[in-house]
Structure 1
Amino acid sequence: MGFAPPTLGGMAPARERFVECSDLRIRVVEEGVSGAAAVVLVHGFPDTLRIWDGVAARLRERFWVVRVDLPGAGGSGRPRGRDGFRVERVAGVLGEVVRRVVGRPVHLVGHDWGSVIGWRAVVDEPSLYLSFTSLSGPDLGHVRDWIGRHRWDPVGVVGLVRKSWYIAGFLVPWVPEAVWGLPFVRRRLRAGRRELVNGLELYRANIGRGAVPRRVEVAVRQVELVNDPYVSRRHLEAAEPWVSDLTRTPLHAGHWAPRTHPDQVARLIGDFVEGREARRVVVITGAGSGIGRATAVKFAREGALVVALDVDRAAARRTADEVGGHAYELDVTDSAATGEVARLVVERHGVPDVVMANAGVGVAGPFLQTSEEDWRTVVDVNLWGVVHTLRAFAPHLVERAQGGHLVVTASAAGYFPTAALPAYSTTKAAVLMLAQCLAAELKPHGIGVSAVCPGVVNTDIAGSTRFAGADAVEQAARRKKAARAYRLRGFGPEKVAGQVFRAVERNTPVVAVTPEARFVRVANRLSPRFVRWLGRVVNPT
């Protein structure tokens, strides 16, 4: 099928028109940038094209947006018989609308039954569709095939089928129509009686008709609505053997996400239409050296885009250059600066998928020799720095509603009470508890939180630790001794980086790194008294 290339024009206001397709009159609303990439939005049951109002308002600034009322819904006519609601018939009507209204290949987006119809449309006329975004509407043939392949897994099959329990009621004659006559039911469903009654025919015309799975050659993105009570991960996985180019993106929203989360849905559609690479963005503070730098290298090797933040601009730049990422100078003790850097990162690189609050300093020495200045320094960096970092980035992850992960670099010192590290241990115990509190708070948003607790690791912190009560000569001597001991320990930061990566992948809440860190953590559970004794006789510095 040949199409003339579009000519890019200006922004056009919303325009309603009607298209005659065989014996049907189909309502269409067009708006956006004339000649830009065309996005066709198809609603489901029991909605009309109005469910896309918020999404269309955001997409029309970049695309030519076309919304279609399905047969029997909104301003479109009703097919004369039940066969007019068959998926293949409605897909044919959709294709006719695209040819007459747009006249060139389009990017198709379907929700609920609009998605079910979309699967058939991209199979029947693949040259008409450049891509397909599916929300909460699996292909019926794919699902039937999945059930057949998993027939020896009754638990899995029941888990899939139970999501669609309501369909059995829709197939019963007359009863659903009577229910739709109740005003409070229509208000709850935010639907008109016409859409509810006519929409039943989609179920009655297609369910149980022996749908056949077909291969899809068009690029498909499934938006997995994590809180959808009607469509499960199994429904989405059914497509995997049948789609050549399939990606899946989670969105922590319910079934009617186009209405409740228009910003997020529009962004996902726009990114897919424009072919933006779905590359994980990882932000790390204190990335100029040690554990931060090693973690940046690890994530970069795994394909992530790394944003390195450090108070030392040159060190951050070296890390960024090594991993092909981006660098920003940041003093995490400055709340306003941290917020501004977070804003720039989100604006330039997107909302990060992983944020690691890693920047830290060391202060050693007995409590009675630790000055107020020492306390302020270690609390400002190790505690307030973590708080500022998480406060700056976490809201962006929540608003995006696609999950993500926060990592806090704590320490085995956070649960090992030693006379040698009262200030340092206090801050690390605080951020360890903060991470666990955040894990509980952010779990409903699909955001994981991990506290990484290293023991003795060979990093620059050993040679830069402030030893309370020591003069300049003693300070230098003790730093040199500590750095040599950490070096002889031989546990490098790259091993911690591997544990950080694994914690993110597995959503592990607390990770004790190094044998001594794991030993003390277990010992705390078995005999806290023994650990307190150990803290009096062992000097980790």
Structure 2
Amino acid sequence: MERVVERFVERGDLRVRVVEGGVSGGVVLLLVHGYPDHAGVWDGVAARLQRRFWVVRVDVRGAGGSGAPRGRGGYRVEEVVEDLVAVGRGYSGVHLVGHDWGAVIGWAAVARYPEVFRSFVSISGPDLGHVRDWVRRNWWRRPARVVGTLARSWYIAGLLVPGVAEGVWRVVGRWVGGRRELVNGLELYRANLGAGAEARRVRVPVHQVELVKDPFVGPGHLEAADRWTDELSRSRLVAGHWAPRTHPEQVARAIEDFVEGRRSKEVVVVTGGGSGIGRATALRFARDGAFVVVLDVDLEGAERTAAEVGGFGYRLDVADGAATHALAREIVQRHGVPDVVMANAGIAVAGPFLDTSEEDWRRVVDVNLWGVVHTLRAFTPYLVERGQGGNLVVTASAAGYFPMATLPAYSTTKAAVLMLAQCLDAELREHRIRVSAICPGVVDTNIAATTRFAGADDAEQERKRKKAARVYRLRGYTADRVADEVVRAVRAGRVVVPVTPEARFVQVANRIAPSLVRLLGRFT
């Protein structure tokens, strides 16, 4: 690690300020700011990146410590690109990162000088030519989408009016600082917008970071690059336009992952994944290309499923909160923050309330309710901190809204996690994390064969288990079909997901004839 140093690159009679530091001899990252910023916008991002890379930050002409050109033509994108090339040629291959106008300039730089720039990360700044082409192609096919995209740039009209914006910024700049950047940067808009930018093909790998709360740059701007790039990937960050300032850790992580080749393979964690619905869901996500981490109190079962999906298996009793949090930390460190967490582990206790012992109650609550709480509390903070959204899945049950006389303990825990999932979905939507409660009915898994029948002796226990397993087997609804519903629910962001026909029937009947549902529950 070396200290950060400042130097200047001469471009004719204009000096470009460069700040650089990090790992000497490491991969070179060149960070370019937008309007009305200077290189300092990258301070938090650079602090993390400098642990692994040689990080170069540039003050765009007219900003920070760089000189300002004498005329408006000096702010043409082509001129600023040459500044970046002059800096980049001092290294053997540069990975370019741009935000706002820095990204607009970056698109032109990588299109024209692929021999200088190895790759490009674009944050909230589209290529002007790509957007012009996208508008022309979609104006008649998707007029509402085009109007919505263009409307995000409403503020530009004010910036283009001579004298007005300068007067406002000179006053505002007294209190907020950055007066020089506010005024000089106006010329970027005036010199480049409306100039008939040409769309150019980009041959180097490009990664777009979509800031989902950005009021200025939306999906249409990003989509404009699709037909003009040879290799394009995207990731999402739940942040506003100035994410390099507000979310530096997350921005740095997105840059690291792209430059180091960690191209987003979905990470899925499934508890109770050694058998039944958990195992089927792990297999189903793996078929979609996900990397699956399987957790189960039965280590052999977890490792068996993991071997089938090419993932990792760990032993976990979800009733143990400390162990759940410790394993979550290990998984995040080893495999990354998961995109999907399925709290599926559960047990069944059947029998009348008066026959269900306190020990039975404690065990079913510990696993079915506390196990879900422990799992979600252990993993959710990582999803929130990462800022890229995600999905939490809870395996509830139709028993959670079907009051059966023979399942008071089991149904109570499933009703609790069903409500928990809905509360969490309301809370976490601002972080773009969706929560789904899966509500199967009678599904052919091994849960019937492992159910604890309250008040039964060993012989009666075995007889009832065999009878229940036979009924579930004859019902013929497989765990694979539930797994398909889980994946569909995750992709669609559905909250309450009844799976089997009986689960759907009871859900509807509860709305129109709840007394009928209670009557059926007495005799089921």
TM-score, normalised to structure 1's length?
A: 0.96
Of 223, 245, 249, 2:209 maps to: 223
Q: Does 1:165 align with 2:151?
A: no
Cα distance in 1 for residues equivalent to 2:114 and 2:312: 39
State the shift of 1:103 in Å. Answer: 2.4
Q: Does 1:261 align with 2:247?
A: yes
Instruction: Give the 3-state SS of the residue equivalent to 2:185 in structure 1.
Output: helix
The equivalent of 2:368 in structure 1 is: 382
8 Å CA contact retained: 2:170, 2:183: no
Cα distance in 1 for residues equivalent to 2:194 and 2:322: 60
The equivalent of 1:422 in structure 2 is: 408
The equivalent of 2:163 in structure 1 is: 174
8 Å CA contact retained: 2:33, 2:59: yes
State the shift of 1:289 in Å. Answer: 0.3
Cα distance in 1 for residues equivalent to 2:44 and 2:83: 25
The equivalent of 1:13 in structure 2 is: 3
Q: Does 1:341 align with 2:327?
A: yes
Of 257, 282, 290, 1:296 maps to: 282
Instruction: Give the 3-state SS of the residue equivalent to 2:115 in structure 1.
Output: helix
Cα distance in 2 for residues equivalent to 1:49 and 1:191: 14
Instruction: Give the 3-state SS of the residue equivalent to 1:141 in structure 2.
Output: helix
State the shift of 1:186 in Å. Answer: 5.9
Instruction: Give the 3-state SS of the residue equivalent to 1:432 in structure 2.
Output: helix
Of 404, 413, 422, 2:390 maps to: 404
Superposed CA RMSD: 0.8
8 Å CA contact retained: 1:47, 1:191: no
Describe how 1:434-449 pairs up with structure 2 within 5 A.
Answer: 434-449=420-435
8 Å CA contact retained: 1:108, 1:132: yes
Cα distance in 2 for residues equivalent to 1:242 and 1:252: 26
Q: Does 1:73 align with 2:63?
A: yes
The equivalent of 2:135 in structure 1 is: 147
Instruction: Give the 3-state SS of the residue equivalent to 1:181 in structure 2.
Output: helix
The equivalent of 1:133 in structure 2 is: 121
8 Å CA contact retained: 2:319, 2:371: yes
The equivalent of 2:26 in structure 1 is: 36
Of 417, 420, 423, 1:431 maps to: 417
8 Å CA contact retained: 1:383, 1:431: yes
Instruction: Give the 3-state SS of the residue equivalent to 2:98 in structure 1.
Output: strand
Q: Does 1:52 align with 2:42?
A: yes
Q: 2:147 is matched by which residue type in structure 1?
A: V
Cα distance in 1 for residues equivalent to 2:310 and 2:235: 25
Cα distance in 1 for residues equivalent to 2:523 and 2:451: 21
Instruction: Give the 3-state SS of the residue equivalent to 1:231 in structure 2.
Output: coil
Cα distance in 2 for residues equivalent to 1:118 and 1:496: 46
In structure 1, the gaps of 5 or more residues are: 1-10
Of 265, 270, 273, 1:287 maps to: 273
Cα distance in 2 for residues equivalent to 1:192 and 1:277: 37
Q: Does 1:237 align with 2:242?
A: no
8 Å CA contact retained: 1:46, 1:196: yes
The equivalent of 1:22 in structure 2 is: 12
Of 223, 233, 238, 1:247 maps to: 233
Q: Does 1:85 align with 2:71?
A: no
Q: Does 1:103 align with 2:94?
A: no
The equivalent of 1:471 in structure 2 is: 457
Distance 1:186 1:516, change over 3 A: farther
Cα distance in 1 for residues equivalent to 2:84 and 2:292: 43
Instruction: Give the 3-state SS of the residue equivalent to 1:455 in structure 2.
Output: coil
State the shift of 1:92 in Å. Answer: 1.3
Cα distance in 1 for residues equivalent to 2:387 and 2:217: 18
8 Å CA contact retained: 1:21, 1:97: no
Cα distance in 1 for residues equivalent to 2:95 and 2:224: 22
The equivalent of 1:316 in structure 2 is: 302
State the shift of 1:277 in Å. Answer: 3.0
Cα distance in 2 for residues equivalent to 1:355 and 1:414: 21
Q: Deviations over 1:130-155 (max 9, x none)?
A: 11000000000011011101111331
Instruction: Give the 3-state SS of the residue equivalent to 2:121 in structure 1.
Output: strand
Cα distance in 1 for residues equivalent to 2:174 and 2:352: 69
Larger mean Cα displacement after TM superposition, 473-482 or 270-279: 270-279
Q: 2:65 is matched by which residue type in structure 1?
A: G
Instruction: Give the 3-state SS of the residue equivalent to 1:126 in structure 2.
Output: coil
8 Å CA contact retained: 1:72, 1:78: yes
Cα distance in 2 for residues equivalent to 1:362 and 1:128: 62
Q: Deviations over 1:299-338 (max 9, x none)?
A: 0111000000000111111011111100110000000000
In structure 2, the gaps of 5 or more residues are: none
Instruction: Give the 3-state SS of the residue equivalent to 1:523 in structure 2.
Output: helix
The equivalent of 1:6 in structure 2 is: none
Of 273, 277, 297, 2:259 maps to: 273
Larger mean Cα displacement after TM superposition, 154-163 or 213-222: 154-163
Give the paired residue count: 523
8 Å CA contact retained: 1:46, 1:191: no
Q: Deviations over 1:400-426 (max 9, x none)?
A: 000000000000000000101010000
State the shift of 1:109 in Å. Answer: 0.1
Q: 2:149 is matched by which residue type in structure 1?
A: L
Q: Does 1:118 align with 2:106?
A: yes
Cα distance in 2 for residues equivalent to 1:392 and 1:327: 17
Q: 2:74 is matched by which residue type in structure 1?
A: G
Q: 2:81 is matched by which residue type in structure 1?
A: A
The equivalent of 2:499 in structure 1 is: 513
State the shift of 1:191 in Å. Answer: 4.4
Moved over 6 A (4+): none
Distance 1:423 1:186, change over 3 A: farther
The equivalent of 1:327 in structure 2 is: 313
Q: 1:113 is matched by which residue type in structure 2?
A: W
The equivalent of 2:182 in structure 1 is: 196
